[in-house]
Amino acid sequence: MRFCLLTTYPEAYLDDYHATRPHLKDIAFKEQSAELAKNVPDAGQMWAPTLTDGQHKVQVIVANDVVSQNTWVAERIPDFKPKSAGTWMHEVVVEQLRKFKPDVLCVFDPEGFDAGFLRGLVGRPAWIVGYSAGVWSGQTQLRGYDLMLSPHEALVRQAWRSGARNARQFHAGFPRSVAEAVFQSPVTADVAYCGSWQPDDAKRARLITALAEASLRKDKQLKIALYLDVPPGAVLPPAVSQANQGPLQGLKRYQAIHSTAIAVVEEPDEALGDTVPEGVFESTGLGVFTLAEDRASLGRAFKQGVEVETYQGTDDLVAKIDARLADEPGRTAIARAGQERCLTEHSMESRMNAFVSLLHGNPRGLARTACRLWHRLCP
């Protein structure tokens, strides 16, 4: 099949990406696209290499990457004139899809490419699939999506209510290639935490602060590396501000996680319910000892105390960190078992096989209507 993966990257990531790769503006779109696909900021979007290995034809479009998109326009439709600067991104994507003619369009930013965008397509792909791991606006309309995928049950229900023709819970998996790309990164910190500071989330703030303050203890030296995305105007506690090294994306993020003895996983937004944190797949896939909050969903994906370690509350978290740092053999054994589980059962390869199977088994007619009704009635 012919797949087109349509996504957007964080603007800050794209700025940094091109600042360190000025040569990209002088090469062909095909090469720029391949380079972008290898350096995605989120493992959940790293489907292209695995689908290609499965003998599918894959095209990646990073819709908000001005460099690659302008290159494509110059190569394929040099006389192109957008109707307005505000619609430029969507107009270029419509032209690309008209020329690529994919069988399957996979959209990783359904909020940015909702039902209004789909109505403007010239020649509809046989399948339009959306994937999202984050909360989207309740105003987002998903009519026209044949299938919406999310690792979170709450988002699956929201997709049904937003008009998607079908929605399924689906973890994207973690690519073995990422683990191979960073395995030589040396360990430089005891604990890493990648995530965001949310001033209105008191529970998360307490956890991050407890981690930062643990690094200031005089009796036990602890090197904590926080990689936090902080909203403008937010005031961090002094300990958090001191430990924060700023947000990371792409391979830099995975290198940072791999460069620590212990990865503490960011908990999902409470609105997502009881769901496996996406960071668990990242840190276990990288072969790093993983600490996550004790929750039922985690136990269905990994064996607690064997493949991952869990904690209950900030005091227990800090105590578990101290205990595991003093037990390198035990910590290493759990990290290896977690990586083995992740890169087999939760690998990108296994998940992409499941994804293709979903396309062949997508329910129609009464089966789909029953699913929609069920999810509309669920709280």
Residue intervals in the chain for CATH 3.40.50.2000? 176-346
pLDDT tens for the 379 residues of the chain, in order: 999 999 999 898 899 999 999 999 999 999 998 888 878 877 667 888 889 888 899 999 999 999 999 999 999 999 998 888 889 999 999 999 999 999 999 999 999 999 999 999 988 999 999 999 877 777 889 999 999 999 888 889 889 989 999 999 898 889 888 899 898 889 999 999 999 999 889 999 999 999 999 999 988 889 999 999 999 999 999 999 999 999 998 888 999 999 999 999 998 887 777 888 889 999 999 999 999 999 888 998 999 999 999 999 999 999 999 999 999 999 999 999 999 999 999 999 899 999 998 888 755 554 455 455 544 544 4
310/317 Cα distance (integer angstroms) = 8
- For strand 224-229 and strand 260-264, is the pairing parallel, antiparallel, or unpaired? unpaired
66/57 Cα distance (integer angstroms) = 24
Looking up tokens 């929201």, which residue turns up? 158
- Identify the CA nearest to 144 among candidates 122, 162, 158, 170: 162
- Identify the CA nearest to 131 among candidates 151, 153, 108, 115: 108
User: Does CATH number 3.50.50.60 belong to domain 176-346?
Assistant: no
Let me know: does 367 contact 155? Beta carbons within 8 Å.
Answer: no
User: Which of the 8 DSSP states describes residue 189?
Assistant: E
Count of CB atoms within 10 A of residue 91's CB? 17
- pTM equals 0.86
Helix 278-285 with 328-345: angle, nearest 10 deg: 110
What fold is seen in the domain 2-169? Rossmann fold (3.40.50)
